Structure 1
Amino acid sequence: VASMDSQTALELVKTGATLLFLDVPQHTLVAIDTQMFFVGPAFKGIKMIPPGTHFVYYSSSTRDGKEFSPIIGFFIDVGPSEVIVRKWDQQEERLVKVSEEEEGRYSQAVKNMEFDQHLGPYNHSDYEDWKRLSNFVTKSIIERHEPIGGEISVDCENDMFRNTPKTSMEEALDKQLKIGNSATSVGTNQRKGCYYTSIPRVVKRKGITAQELTSLNHDKVGIHILLNIWFQKVIVRKEF
């Protein structure tokens, strides 16, 4: 955004979508797509977001900002100039929706530029990376696979990786979740995970050549490579 002229930046502020996050504590990690922000005293959200599908995620932290809870995220599909408002629930340590009346009032305030100096800009130079990573993520796919309520959390997806190899950090997180030390853990009756499509470890199919079978298995491996690239891309860290 620093290399962008003021007229272009103003146009993106007006036409781009905005995430308004109220009362988020300092040191909380807030992110969208491949871009991360560490919340400072002035932070109230993200502006200049291109219309389309995005993944928003966050993690609460200790007061000193050294330890973080498991990440919670949700998909959004935004139109031009749309404003999405969330407020921090101190007790549950998560972002929650506000009433329609509040959302309308805050949305108008955003459009009147009342929050502009408190909003971090979406970095458009990184947008192409996100478009490549999310090329096939459509609104209908999100609606088909997202959990009830829309919140996606590693706290609720732990069973998916039960029998997969883990790094030492993943093993530590797995242990933390099992003993219930997670700051954002939820009750058993509330645990809702994504509705995943099963992907077999090895594709076996009769009536095709060995080369075709190898290609099918490589395509499946490509899914995991894509996920690894996505995690590696999430290294843009800012404080606002």
Structure 2
Amino acid sequence: MASISSTNMDPDVARRLFEEGATLVLLGVPRGTELGIDCKSWQVGPLFRGVKMIPPGLHFLNYSPVNSPSCGGEIGPKRGLFINLKPREILLANWDPKEEDLDFSASKNDEEVNRIRETLQELDPYLGPYPYEVMRKWVSLTDRLSEELAFNLQPLSGRVCAFSDVIPEVQLRHTKDRAEQPRNDTACQSMKEGLDRLPKMKQREGTELRFSVIPKQTYPPGATPAEITQCSMDLSYALETVLEKNHSQQPLNLLGELQFAFVCFLIGNVYEGFEHWKCLLALMCRAEEAMRKHKELYLGLIAVLYHQLGEIPPDFFVDIVSQNNFLTTTLQDFFQLATGPGIDGTLRKRAEKFKTHLTKKFRWDFDADLEDCAPVVVELPEGVTVD
């Protein structure tokens, strides 16, 4: 492994981490594997055996398997998992070459863990120290994400994967079943026809991220046309539905879910995480009534976004075709609502300060005319209802 430097670490902090920090013992990880913890990653060298001096708490261990040199030595898709480490804990894993994954079953063997603990001093030269210089950044990106929430959101398989594990929707296990399928001997006349001929795929059960489901219908059953229009302009009903179904006991956990999705995308390379992050953000930024009701949730949202947006280039959100910046249009709505009537004074001031910060740092224009984007109110003829 390339050297993991603990330079500039305060001696007292280093001593405390040495005494209280957790240890990841990772045996048999192939040379050249890209392995990281939290916001930093490295290429594994021939002497690597794990990471020491890890601050107790929640971390994201991630790695990309590498093919053998005879197969080109190519790096595979990234996968990772959230782990919660206790003071002085030893977490042991062995590399499974068949699955190209870490097997943590040895950690359940107390005898094996105790053996490692007794020989830890001999193992120490082969353990790299946790990159403490990224700790502040990691905490700022996950301060709302609890161990329980992280484990409830990550797949049942225990792995967050950059590429989805998909299987055919229809399992044709027998020759007779496959023979009865229509043959595709003729050439395709279009790309659409070719795509239609491909077998329909679905994500393997247990590998999907367990995000909150954002309702497609933003209005309550039996809503009148006027109510439908109102709920399309103010997404508070949809937001309250998400909170009630997923975070009824702890509404602020929605911020933890926002952080989980962002970390999965930023560090785990999971595009689904980015899409969910965008959907959650759009939902929260366009919920006017909820903004008046959930002051703490929105104060927290500003703090979460402050740190997240510091990790992404300002032009990242610009659509290549339309040149539309998703984030500026979404936050434009947020700032307009956060400075409207009935908004708590503290939230209003914090929103104005955040707007000034983003305008200065990214040169984003939040004061463009919104009239062109105003929703059109549709009045249905008398007696006509919308289901």
1:64-75 to 2 correspondences below 5 Å: 64=69, 67-75=74-82
TM-score, length-normalised on structure 1? 0.68
In structure 1, distance between residues paired with 2:130 and 2:306: 27
8 Å CA contact 2:153–2:210 kept in 1: the answer is yes
Corresponding position: 1:54 with 2:59: yes
| Equivalent residue number for residue 243 of structure 2 | none
Q: Is the 8 Å Cα contact of residues 34 and 126 (structure 1) preserved in structure 2?
A: yes
For residue 109 of structure 1, the aligned residue among 97, 110, 119 is 119
1:229 paired residue among 274, 288, 311: 311
- For 2:91 and 2:164, the matched residues in 1 are separated by 24
- The amino acid of 1:144's aligned partner reads N
| Of 199-208 and 9-18, the range deviating more from structure 2 | 199-208
Q: Which runs of 5+ in 2 are unaligned?
A: 1-5, 167-197, 215-278, 292-297, 314-387
Matched-pair contact (CA < 8 Å) for 2:157–2:206: no
Residue 25, structure 1, aligned to residue 36, structure 2: no
For the pair 1:79 / 2:86, whether they are aligned, the reply is yes
Q: Aligned-residue CA RMSD in angstroms?
A: 3.5
Which amino acid is the alignment partner of residue 89 of structure 2?
E
Number of positions where the alignment pairs a residue of Structure 1 with one of Structure 2:
194
* Structure 1 match to 2:153: 145
Structure 1 residues 89 and 108: alpha-carbon distance in aligned structure 2, compared to 1, 3 A threshold? same
- Does the aligned pair in 2 maintain the 1:84–1:107 contact within 8 Å? no
Distance 1:46-1:207 versus aligned 2 partners, 3 A rule = closer
Letter in 1 for 2:146: T
SS state at 2:29 partner: coil
The correspondence for 2:132, drawn from 112, 119, 124, is: 124
Could you give the per-residue CA deviations for residues 57-115 of structure 1, whole angstroms, max 9, x where no partner exists? 001112348521111101111111111011000111110013313233223322xx121
Instruction: Specify which of 207, 211, 228 is matched with residue 196 of structure 1.
Output: 211
2:165, 2:134 → 1: CA distance? 28
Please, which runs of 5 or more residues in structure 1 have no aligned partner?
159-177, 179-186, 210-215, 232-240
Deviation at 1:45, TM superposition (A): 0.6
In the alignment, residue 48 of structure 1 is paired with which amino acid? M
Query: Which has the higher relative contact order, 1 or 2, with Cα contacts under 8 A spaced 6 or more apart?
Result: 1
Q: Deviations along 1:166-223, whole A, 9 cap, x unmatched?
A: xxxxxxxxxxxx9xxxxxxxx96555111012435743546589xxxxxx8xx59x76
State the alpha-carbon separation in 2 of the partners of residues 122 and 81 from structure 1. Answer: 14
Q: Which structure has the highest strand share of the two? A: 1
SS at match of 2:98: coil
Shift of 1:123: 1.7
1:93 paired to 2:112: no
CA positional deviation for 1:8: 5.8
Q: How much has 1:126 moved relative to structure 2?
A: 1.7
Q: Is the 8 A contact 1:157 1:194 kept in 2?
A: no
Question: Structure 2: how far apart are the matches of 1:59 and 1:132?
Answer: 25
Higher helix share: 2
Greater shift in the superposed pair: 195-204 or 129-138: 195-204
SS in 1 for 2:119: helix
Q: What's the % identity of the aligned pairs? A: 29
Distance 2:88 2:35 in 1: 21
The answer as to 2:48 corresponding to 1:43 is yes
Provide the residue aligned with 2:179 in structure 1: none
Decide whether the 8 Å contact of 2:155 with 2:206 is kept in 1: no
Equivalent position SS for 1:76: strand
Matched residues in 2 for 1:55 and 1:127: separation? 12
Give the CA deviation at 1:155: 2.4
Residue identity in the other structure for 2:308:
L
- Structure-2 separation of matches of 1:109 and 1:123: 23
CA 1:2–1:226 in 2, change beyond 3 Å: closer, same or farther? closer
